[in-house]
Structure formats: C-alpha cells, structure tokens
Amino acid sequence: MATADWIRKLYAYNAWANARVLAAAAGLSDAQLRKDRPGVESVADTLRHGAQAQHYWWCFWTGAEWDRLPELPATGVMEAISEWFRSSHDELRTFTASLDESALEQLYEDTDEEGRPEEVRLWEMMAHVVNHGTQHRSEAAAVLTVLGRSPGDLDFVDFVHASARGEAP
C-alpha cells in the first residue's frame, strides 16, 4: 500500500527528473528537437507526449475537462514544452498535496489493453504515471546523450541525494 507522503515524494522526483531532461534539451535547436531518430520519436514529440500524459491523468483523476496539448509550434519548441511541463507539475503538486490515505485507495474504472473495464486504485495509477514518465525520459535522455547533451543521472536515489543536499524539492 502506498502512502500519501510516498506519492508526493514520487511526484517530486518526477518533476526533478523532468527538469533535468528539459534543461539538457534546452540547448538544442528547434530542428534538432524535431528530428526523428531510429527507433524513437523526436525529442520534442517524446517530451510533448510526457507532458500530455501527465495532464491527461490529472484530468481523469480530478474530473477536469481534458484538452489535448496544441501541436508543437513552428518556433519556440522548448519554451512551449517547458510551459506544458510547468503547468502539469503545478497541477500535480496541488493534487498530491490534497491526498490522504483514503483518497489513494479510491477505485477508478479504467480499461486494460484489450478495452475491458477494470477497477484500479488511485495510487496504482499515480505510480503508473511516474513510471510512464521514466520510460519517455529515458528515450529522450538517450537521444540527448548521443547529441552531447546528457541530462546526467536520473535515478530515484540521485534525487534522494540531491534532496538531502537541498538541491531538489
């Protein structure tokens, strides 16, 4: 069973790790950000997907109307992506601050890969969102590393150490 404090820590980690990837990507041109690579979407599309997924799940949990993120702009790609993440992290920070143990046990109806309805606890879906972010951060980080813009270590324990030093939330 997850606790509200554990979920808040996971979401602080998620924001910290995303910030490291965004900082590394900020040095790329719009053309570099948009270029597809073998086996992965462009860094821009990968990051947009991550921000959109976070916003989708927040809408699902809160009952807010889901609105897709706009397409990537012609210029100012990183500015748009950074704003989408800032907004999403603000939404999630406020949401996680409101949670207690009983809220995390609340059941939501979702569907599995086959489209069958299933009940899933809030904390399980919330863990999924952070794990989903890890997958896509890793894809973006691999491309950034090849381009000489590694975001550095993104492991949870690195976040724990950075937090202990006062370098992360």
Q: What residue ranges do the domains of the chain occupy?
A: 4-164
What is the model's pTM?
A: 0.93
Homologous superfamily of domain range 4-164: dinb family like domain (1.20.120.450)
Distance in angstroms (rounded) separating the CA atoms of residues 104 and 12: 17
CB 143: neighbour CB atoms within 10 A?
23
- For the segment 23-39, the average pLDDT, to the nearest whole number, is 92
Q: What pLDDT score was predicted for residue 169? A: 79
Distance in angstroms (rounded) separating the CA atoms of residues 130 and 118: 20
The one-letter code for the residue type at 148 is G
pLDDT band at 137 (very low <50, low <70, confident <90, very high): very high
Least reliable range by pLDDT among 2-6, 53-57, 60-64, 114-118: 2-6
pLDDT band at 56 (very low <50, low <70, confident <90, very high): very high
Least reliable range by pLDDT among 40-49, 110-119, 153-162: 110-119
pLDDT band at 100 (very low <50, low <70, confident <90, very high): very high
Q: What pLDDT score was predicted for residue 2? A: 58
Q: What pLDDT score was predicted for residue 86? A: 97
Distance in angstroms (rounded) separating the CA atoms of residues 77 and 42: 12
pLDDT band at 122 (very low <50, low <70, confident <90, very high): very high
Distance in angstroms (rounded) separating the CA atoms of residues 44 and 103: 34
Residue pair 134/17 in contact (Cβ under 8 Å)? The answer is: yes
pLDDT band at 91 (very low <50, low <70, confident <90, very high): very high
- For the segment 113-140, the average pLDDT, to the nearest whole number, is 95
Q: Does 128 have pLDDT greater than 80?
A: yes
